[in-house]
Amino acid sequence: MLNIFGTNKLLARLPKVKGKYLHNIQLKQHTWFGVGGPAEIMYLPKDNADLSFFIRNCPHNIPLFVLGGGSNILVRDGGIPGVTIKLDSPAFKQVKIEDNKITCGAGLQNISLKKYLINNSLTGLEFLCSIPGVIGGSLKTNAGCFGKEVKDVIISANIMDNLGNIKQVPVSEFGLSYRNSCFPSSWIILDITFSVRKDTPENIKKILEEQKAYRISSQPYNQKTAGSTFKNPQGLRAWELIKKSECDQLSVGGAKVSEKHCNFLINTGNASAKDIETLGEMIIGQVKQKTFVTLEWEIKRVGIEK
């Protein structure tokens, strides 16, 4: 259990908010890998105003971390100290459609986009529906698949800075590149506005179904995984390097390389975060030794080692 400040002492130092404070929440219940230690404090803000009040009044020496949908992340076994912010209230899941634009709250699950696209005959974001996680997380990593990335469809985002101020930031200021951005760590994404265009519900459903079928056939499905583990080096494919380096059969404790797609690591049921991270580092080392290419983690690793 984390005891950076002492849970009761930490709670006493936090501003009184309209949202909720939860303590020692097991993050394995909030992440796709199903591993990791506790959040010392989890804060669920009620709305933008509540979050702004918290940011303005929270002591500066208390570490803050924003948790999205729990995909593309590995929380270490020692957990996350300070306050973990999760935008999980209805206020952060709103959707607004205007002309050829759709604005989605940061806490909206990507898969929930489907009904808005179909019901309003809008296309262009089907690829995003198939990526695990929530809308807010898609911007920081410039998430993408099926030949599209967030940078291809984003117009702007409303963010909250470290002073609690809300700003609208155009896409040009995020410096989006392959699975990367110049997004300041102190900013919190509130909502994102995407460009869309009209199409028939039938065509939209067809694209969604084709993409889902591809995912099921070629990637681990209904298993504890966080998505692609490593970024593709320029001009190369991570899975090919892993296979060429004979890493596709590796395992550590309860963690193993997926038999269906070797750029995915799997928690078979009893893995620790340490097992998964050790396996990933083992793959990086073996690939470098065999191919002279250094793989880079796509999954974000956070928290304290235990």
Active-site positions read 179, 228, 298
- From residue 115, alpha-carbon distances to 111, 125, 134, 213 in Å are 9, 12, 15, 18
Instruction: Please classify residue 276 by burial: count the beta carbons closer than 10 Å to its beta carbon, then call 0-12 exposed, 13-18 middle and 19+ buried.
Output: buried
Residue ranges of the alpha helices (H) in the chain?
A: 7-13, 48-57, 113-119, 126-129, 135-140, 201-218, 238-244, 273-291
Q: What gap in Å lies between CA 204 and CA 40, rounded to an integer? A: 42
Backbone angles phi, psi at 269, to 5 degrees: 140, -30
Within 13 Å and on the Cβ side, how many CA atoms surround 202? 0
109: which residues sit within 8 A by CB, 6+ positions away? 69, 133, 134, 135
Asked if residues 94 and 117 have their Cβ atoms less than 8 Å apart, the reply is no
Length of the chain: 306
Asked if residues 103 and 62 have their Cβ atoms less than 8 Å apart, the reply is no
Task: Map residue 297 onto helix, strand or coil.
Answer: strand
Structure tokens at 223: 């298993």
Q: What gap in Å lies between CA 211 and CA 223, rounded to an integer? A: 18
